Amino acid sequence: MESSSTGGRKKLEPDPRIRIAILSAASKIVREEGVGALGIAAVLSRSQLSTRAFYRHFGSKDELVSAVFLDMARVEKLRLRRRMTAASDPARAVAAWVDGRLDLAFNEEIRSDLRKVSLEAQTQMFAAPELVGAAYDEILRPLVEELRRGSELGLFTEIDPDNEARSIHGVVWANVERQWATADCDLSDVRERVQRFCLRGLGVSSETINAVLGERVSATTT
């Protein structure tokens, strides 16, 4: 597309297809080599695009890095929401979110694709949180929504949905990292321990927690 000319030179408008091509090339670099290898020249080489095309869609390398993480986070958010769809109440939805994130360490199909990206994002969260903050918000969004709904229903007591979501993520991530480091954890034990800890922290009754965990055990044995 073209917009009005400036100084006798036509200015091209951003093209969604070119933006997708740039993001795709950048995502492949991050997955294969990490954020440290993500440079504008490398992206343009992979996408076969010009410097002018890049700056028509992104103002800087940092803006591209942020967009890459956000794009990947949106995919992860959809995956988590699919896991949560069948939940009959917020407590079970929270348990499903935890289960979905534990996939990073225990599901062979999931972890091979997302491990490097997740580690990169975690590193950037300390080094340059402004680059990955929006991405983390996307991943936490389904959890925050269920925490808010559970609070409104009186299922969770005296909670701040945003803060609790980050706390739950921290607990899950610590267990994911442990499994990556040792590879000696049992998924059933980790799942029960983490879900019980998180649900208890939200004020869920022991009776409900036992029911939620019991349903999960039943589902995996039938």
Residues 24, 129, single domain; the answer is no
Per-residue pLDDT of the chain (222 residues; tens, 9 = 90+): 334 444 444 556 788 999 999 999 998 998 888 888 889 999 999 999 999 999 999 999 989 989 998 998 998 999 999 999 999 999 999 999 999 999 988 988 775 556 667 777 777 666 677 778 899 999 999 999 999 999 999 999 999 999 999 999 999 999 998 998 899 999 999 999 999 999 999 999 999 999 999 986 555 544
Mark whether 46 and 102 lie in a shared domain: no
For residue 157, tell me if it sits in a domain. yes
The Cα–Cα gap between 173 and 148 comes to 22
pTM of the model: 0.84
49 and 78 in a single domain? The answer is no
CB 199 within 8 A of CB 146: no
Has residue 3 been placed in a domain?
no
Contact at 8 Å (CB) between 192 and 207?
Answer: no
The domain that holds 147 is classified in CATH as: 1.10.357.10
1: in domain:
no
DSSP string across 70-103: HHHHHHHHHHHHHHHTT-SSHHHHHHHHHHHHHH
Same domain membership, residue 123 and residue 45: no
Cβ neighbour number for residue 206 with a 10 Å cutoff: 10
Question: Do 119 and 194 fall within a single domain?
Answer: yes
Instruction: Indicate the DSSP class of residue 154.
Output: T
Domain shared by 147 and 51, yes or no? no
Q: Do 154 and 105 fall within a single domain?
A: yes
Distance CA 143, CA 93 (A): 8
Which distant-in-sequence residues (6+ apart) come within 8 Å of 191 by Cβ?
A: 98, 99, 102, 216
Domain of 195? 69-221
Claim to verify: residue 134 and residue 205 sit in the same structural domain: yes
Q: Do the Cβ atoms of 66 and 26 come closer than 8 Å?
A: no
152 in the same domain as 44: no
Burial of residue 84 (CB within 10 Å: 0-12, 13-18, 19+) is: buried
8 Å CB contact between 5 and 16: no
Angle at Cα 100 formed by Cα 96 and Cα 106, nearest 5°? 130
Q: How many domains does the chain contain in total? A: 2
